[in-house]
Structure 1
Amino acid sequence: MARDRLLADTRPLRIHHFRRLWLANIVTVIGAQLTVVAVPAQIYAITGSSAYVGLTGIFGLVPLVVFGLWGGALADVFDRRTLLVVTTCGLILTSAGFWLQAAVGSQDVWLLLGLFSVQQAFFAINQPTRSAVLPKLVPPELLPAANALNTTVFQAGGIAGPLVGGALIPIVGFSWLYLIDTVTLLATLGAVVGLPRLPVEGATAIPGVRAVIDGFRYLRGHPILLMSFVVDLIAMVFGMPRALFPELADVAFGGPSEGGLAFALLFAAIPAGAVVGGVLSGWVSRVERHGLAVIVSILVWGLAITGFGIAALLAPLAPTAMLVVAVVLLAIGGAADMASSAFRNTMLMSAAEDEVRGRLQGIFIVVVAGGPRVADVTHGAAAAVTGAAVAAAGGGILVIVGTVLAALAVPAFVRYRVTRG
């Protein structure tokens, strides 16, 4: 019994449609991560320029923001099963486009960036739609467990995909990685085709700018839901130190400037911690005070990042020992972030009406994708002034302070709870 209470709650997997989507996602997320690795690697191979590689940030973020918000509006109007089928087909076609341009030996970097933008646009519509259908497939009491299972798969793909992709590129080349991604997406297509019709209850919106604005107005009128976004932005903007990993791996922990073991461990630590947290997430289904759980999770994240920065400051005294401490702390932060994500997503799904779930999930995607990118800029700028280790530790402290202030400003968020039937 103790083991069952500790390990992930797998009851959502007893539900046929959720199980098919989840199993398909295991295959698909690894394939998608192969493309995530292959695109910047191919751009660098063509151009030899990190500046061109950096363009993936702009070519990826802009369609993610625009189509994430518009896609959420679409998901609040059209049958969501149909939308999933169409966007999954779009993802398959763009992956096939990646494969074709690599197979023919194209050296056109703008074609590659254009395909990347189209792919991100389809993803930005697909993802909020997929999240919005979850409450239709899973009963409310199992939503935290279902979100934890989904987050675990995503984070596991974030570890396995880059490792496999990095190893395979020198052996098989880019085209085979894109082809694997294309084929694995067929598993997701089969799963979404098998879903029942998923019309939106009480759909009245027209999928345009007005519908997107109405989604923000709805959010402004529901402070608990608004706070779920605010605290996540606090955690990510101030506390995501990934832009500092290359410098810290080299300067603080004594790794080579072009990468190495310390570099790899720092990048893998947060998703690895999230995976372990997901495997040991049996407790999430028993928590009723979701608002307090989010606050505690983000405070743990802030403490872990603060400790990580301190370990980097002390690294010159004992580089190997401090590297171990830093990796462990980042893993603890990853587990806390997994819990926060599971509870925040559950709040969005359970506390919002069905006719706005798509738009709220679109905003969620923008926040989740945009927050770390803003963090890359702020941490890089802060490190130039204070040094990377101080910037990391200071960011963790700001997470703690900002989260406490947010909790004091909106105590209803801390008191928010779900009732078990």
Structure 2
Amino acid sequence: MSSTENPDPTESIELPRRRRFVDLSPLREHPVFARLFIGTAISGVGYWVTTVAVGLFVFDITGDTFAVALVGGIALVPMIVAGLWGGMLADAFDRRFVLICSSIIAWAAILGIVALAAIDEFVEGRPEVWPLYVLTTLNAVAATISNATRSSVTPRIVPEHMVSRANALGGIAFGLQMTIGPALAGVLVAAIGFPLTFAVDAVLFTAGFLGVVGLPKLPPLTHTAKPGWRSLTDGVRFLRNAPNIRMSFIVDIVAMSLGRPYVLLPAIGASVLGGGAVTVGVLTAATAIGTFLTGLFSGPVAHVHRYGVAIGRAIMLFGAFTALFGVVIAVAATGWFGPVGQEWHQVNLPLLLLAALALVGTGASDEVSAIFRSTMLLTAAPDEMRGRLQGIFVVVVTGGPRVGDMFAGGLAVLTTLWLPPLAGGLAIVAIIAVLVRVQSTFRHYDARDPRP
């Protein structure tokens, strides 16, 4: 079947053969999806370059870990609003048009960050931090709307039985983005400075924009209320009667709010493990390697049907790896392995490798959860609700980490760098075990009979 806007649900479905490696059939058989996938993968590298470089830039200006945490904290409420509003836009209007508009706004914000870094480079004195907060918030708002809309597009350009495989491919793209982007950010900041590092994102963004422009028109399939109170209440009413989708949001909030050590990485690279910006890049990329490996070996996902069980076990494993990372940092903080410094050759290499392995585990287990959560949402919800539910989903997956950044940064300021990942990881294991136990419909969810 050729790629069309609305794949025929009566098309004969060939059962996927059992395989170990990722299934590439969504890319081979659906060129519209392939163009969007490739463009998003390339532009995502630039997004992660900027994400890591902004944290380093703020830390370079202020020397304050909590100031780094505020990059996400300040953007949290606007992102929540953008996610809800963007989901309503995606349900009420042509999704291609919404993607084009939000992409242009994000592009403008990136160019503003480039200009601010250039001013810092060539003008005497350090800049104020607040313009950077404003620009990163604008970029986050536009990206939230884009992500909500882009995710709701997938079932319109690939058939339903391929959605889980398409989501697994997304894990490979995300893994590559997070592997290459953060590592590239650390190297570029050290080699060419902040202005040109941010400019890389502006250039790579072009690929994502071309992927969006190449989409067909994607108008609503049924009449949907225009963005506003009625549209929002319709979505909330649906979610109130969708216990499985609702639980998929709750378990992810728990994981992301308590298992986010990334805001601590600049301080860890400066004073605990050593290595400075290079260590930050390596540790951030380690999570992405785990994500990539899960996507690469995602062949079995087409044969997994008990999504609730798979999600619960994956998130508990995520919590265990997060706690392990905290243990490694606690050992490094004792100073038993000698002094460290901010130069790349002054790193505590054995403990850096152990910390990286723990983060590989968090990335792999989180991606298992993400594949099944996103597939549950896209296949159990009707098309006219997918935008709004994706908006809530994007708020969860982007807002939860911001809460996590605030939790980790604030607790680290009050205590020590290793306590947030250790305590948060153990709490994740305990809370998820209880939630999955008490929500029986989620525990017994079967993808062969998807029910919201």
TM-score by length of 1: 0.86
Contact 1:34 1:161 (C-alpha < 8 Å) held by counterparts:
yes
Question: Which residue in the other structure is 2:247 paired with?
Answer: 227
**2:161 — aligned with what?**
141
Q: Does 1:267 align with 2:267?
A: no
Match of 1:348 among 370, 377, 390: 377
2:144 to 81, 102, 124: 124
What secondary structure sits across from 1:125 in the alignment? helix
How far did 1:273 drift? 1.2
Q: Label 1:152 to 1:314 Cα distance change in 2 as closer, same or farther (>3 A).
A: same
Q: In structure 1, what is the Cα distance between the partners aligned to 2:270 and 2:54?
A: 25
Question: 2:113 and 2:270 mapped to 1: Cα distance?
Answer: 34
Matched, 1:11 2:40: no
1:69 to 2:80 alignment: no
Which of 286, 289, 309 pairs up with 2:306?
Answer: 289
Map 1:292-307 to 2 at 5 A. 292-307=309-324
Q: Note the C-alpha offset of 1:330.
A: 2.5
CA displacement at 1:277 relative to structure 2? 1.5
Matches within 5 A, 1:248-263: 255-256=273-274, 259=276
Which residue, out of 81, 85, 88, partners 2:100?
85
The residue type paired with residue 22 of structure 1 is F
Which of 178, 194, 207 aligns to 1:187? It is 207
2:83, 2:148 within 8 Å by CA — same for their partners in 1? Answer: yes
Alignment of 1:155-194 (within 5 A): 155-194=175-214
Distance 1:92 1:335, change over 3 A: same
What residue identity is the alignment partner of 1:303? A
- Contact 1:128/1:362 (<8 A) preserved: yes
1:248-301 Cα offsets, whole Å, 9 max, x none, are 6678xx523x73776554433222211222212112122122222111211221
Aligned partners of 1:129, 1:201: CA distance in 2, in Å? 15
- The residue that corresponds to 1:411 in the other structure is 440
Inter-CA distance 70–332: structure 2 relative to 1 (3 Å threshold): same
Match among 231, 252, 256 for residue 236 of structure 1: 256
Shift, 1:352, TM fit = 0.7
State the partner residue of 2:361. Answer: 332
- What is the RMSD computed on CA atoms of the aligned residues? 3.2
After TM superposition, give the deviation of residue 81 of structure 1 in Å.
Answer: 1.1
Aligned partners of 1:237 and 1:378 also within 8 Å: yes
Conserved in 2, the CA contact under 8 Å of 1:141 and 1:420? no
Note the C-alpha offset of 1:23: 1.0
Q: Quickly say closer, same or farther: Cα 1:198–1:38, change in 2 above 3 A.
A: same
Contact 1:201-1:354 within 8 A present in 2 as well: yes
Equivalent residue number for residue 397 of structure 2: 368
Q: CA deviation at 1:208?
A: 1.6
The answer on 1:211 being equivalent to 2:231 is yes
Deviations, residues 324-371 of structure 1 (Å, cap 9, x unaligned): 444323212210101101110111111111111111111111111222
Partner of 1:33: 48
Answer whether contact 1:271 1:334 (CA < 8 A) is retained.
yes
Say how many residue pairs are matched: 416
Scaled by the length of structure 2, what TM-score is found? Answer: 0.81
In the alignment, is the contact (CA less than 8 A) between 2:73 and 2:406 conserved in 1?
A: no
| Alpha carbons of structure 1 residues 183 and 391: separation in structure 2 relative to 1, 3 Å | closer
Is there any run of 5+ residues in structure 1 with no aligned partner, and where? Answer: none
What SS is found at the alignment partner of 1:5?
coil
Distance 1:245 1:58, change over 3 A: closer
Contact 2:315–2:365 under 8 Å retained in 1? yes
What is the distance in 1 between the residues matched to 2:114 and 2:421?
Answer: 39
* Identical amino acids, percent of aligned pairs: 37
Equivalent-residue separation in structure 2 for 1:385 and 1:117 (angstroms): 26
Which of the two has greater helix per residue?
1
For residues 205-233 of structure 1, what are the alpha-carbon distances to aligned partners after superposition, in whole Å with 9 as ceiling and x for unaligned?
Answer: 22024423432232121100000011111
